[in-house]
Amino acid sequence: MSNLRPNPSQNNITGFHIEPTNICTLKCPGCSRTRFIQQWPQHWKNHSVNIADLMRFLDCDLTGKQILLCGNYGDPIYHPELFELISKLKQRGSSIRLVTNGSYRSVEWWEQLLTVFDSTDTVVFSVDGIPENFTRYRINADWESIHQAMLTCAKSPATTVWKYIVFNYNENDTESARLLSQQIGIDTFQVEKSARFDDETEHFKPKEEFLNSIYVNQQKWKNNGTTFELQPQCADGNHHFISAIGHYVPCCFLHDYRFYYKTPFGKNKSSYKIADTTLSQILDQPATVEFYNNLSQQPGCQFNCSKIS
């Protein structure tokens, strides 16, 4: 096992990952939301995290801690009370990193959102390609509204990022997108390699040089059952995840339905419901401590956090 063993205690917390809502306007082929709805449409329900429950659950000092607002299943900008959620988190001293595709919100909506942001906050736009082709993966996205959102955010004190995942259809457009981001006034253009290619997304796979380094290990784990030494991402204390449905999970990867119900957090959801408990109580639960101490036995941890030699 790696020496980077997580410590499930409040002393090790550096931030949180909150999924404000599972609502989204897109149908990205690799998204857990898209796949879940395709397989079990009758079981899908839209949820948005309850703000009062969340603030009560976070019984710790948030001063100086970064809160990542990013969905496993949804886009944060569709939480019906997002302004209030962010305001309350910032009132407790945190900074915000909002990750969104940015589609379908008006300029006026963005201007109102930015009144609660300051120079400690970041808006990340996930746009994988140039305007002419990015909807090949980000199905149903809308460049016009994204463009206006970028222009509006670029004028604000908040830091702006264009996150660009490399696929085969956009691997030759990186420089064009970078130049466009500069014209808009985006602060950082971030090229991101991915490992999320399987039978349903294989046709999007780029050249090997653009694959995440963990991709090979994931294939070995899926195809041969190979196990690896772990380099757990939750070791940095920044991956405590609260879902839109209102449950605690150690990280967003484990909330993916492929792994969630194989963990105690999915099997015993009622014990991790934020409406009925607090963070400190959850971190003290024997089942939570045991889970963190046995990460190598967890399928989701093997798939997502195998160490690269």
In this predicted model, what pLDDT tens digit does every residue of 54-85 receive, in sequence order? 999 999 999 999 999 999 999 999 999 999 99
Residue 109: how many CB atoms within 10 A of its CB? Answer: 16
Residue where a domain terminates, one of 212, 245, 279: 212
Task: Mark whether 24 and 92 lie in a shared domain.
Answer: yes
Q: Domain residues for 121?
A: 101-212
**Residues 128/130/136/137 CA torsion (nearest 10 deg):** 10
- Tell me: do 91 and 152 sit in the same domain: no
Is a pLDDT exceeding 60 seen at residue 99?
Answer: yes
Res. 4: pLDDT tops 70: no
Q: In this structure, are residues 154 and 148 in contact, taking their beta carbons and an 8 Å threshold? A: no
Phi, psi of 211 (to 5 degrees): -90, 145
Is 90 in the same domain as 64? yes
Residue 223 lies in a domain: no
Is residue 106 in some structural domain?
yes
Residues 174, 265 within the same domain? no
Question: Any idea which of 92-101, 157-166, 189-198, 264-273 has the lowest mean pLDDT?
Answer: 189-198
Task: Kindly state whether residue 145 falls inside one of the protein's structural domains.
Answer: yes
Q: What is the pLDDT of residue 1?
A: 39
Percent of the chain with pLDDT over 90: 76
User: Taking the model in full, what pTM does it have?
Assistant: 0.93
Kindly state whether residues 182 and 241 are assigned to the same domain. no
**Are 30 and 86 in the same domain?**
yes
Is 85 in the same domain as 170? Answer: no
Query: Are both 85 and 139 inside the same structural domain?
Result: no
Instruction: Give the contacts of 10 (CB within 8 A, at least 6 positions apart).
Output: 60, 279, 280, 283
Residue 303 belongs to domain with CATH number: 3.20.20.70
In a domain, 35, yes or no: yes
- Total domains in the fold of the chain: 2
The rounded mean pLDDT for the chain is 92
Distances (CA, A) of 93 to 64, 89, 107, 119, 121: 6, 7, 27, 13, 12
Lookup result for tokens 């006034």: 185
Asked whether residue 4 is domain-assigned, the answer is no
| Segment 273-304, tens digit of pLDDT | 999 999 999 999 999 999 988 888 888 888 88
Q: Is residue 154 part of a domain?
A: yes
Residue 56 lies in a domain: yes
Residues 90, 124, single domain; the answer is no
CA distance 162 to 195: 19
Distance CA 113, CA 5 (A): 38
